[in-house]
Amino acid sequence: MTEEDKKLISKYMGWNYSEALGIYYYDPERIEQRNLDSNDASLCVKEMQKRGDWEHNFMDYVAGSQRWNYHQCIAWLLNAENFFAAMAQWLKEGKK
């Protein structure tokens, strides 16, 4: 994943970036690094659900781009690397 990808995801999530530490974090009171792992993927899914982007936006994008049904997409997205690659691409293409 590129730095541009990380910045897109962090911007969507409202996470901050510390130039001094070289890390992404979300709570200025308690700087905890975001590693963009499966724990962070679940936070992203929760945020997408809150915004109404999960089912008829992100999942439609992934299913369409891979030509899969939702069940196939979910299995593939359980890998954090796949999830964040798809999320970054979805954000680059303008969240249809």
Residue-wise pLDDT for 12-25, tens only, equals 998 877 776 666 76
Whole-number Å distance between alpha carbons of 3 and 63:
25
The tally of domains found in the chain comes to: 1
* Mean pLDDT value across the chain: 86
What is the model's pLDDT at position 28?
A: 61
Q: What is the pLDDT of residues 69-93, one digit of tens each?
A: 888 999 999 999 999 999 999 999 9
For 8-83, list the strands marked E by DSSP. Answer: 16-18, 23-25
- For residue 3 the two structure tokens come to 């730095």
Contacts of residue 83, Cβ cutoff 8 Å, sequence gap at least 6? 41, 44, 77
**Domain that includes residue 59, residue range:** 3-92
Q: What pTM does this model have?
A: 0.84
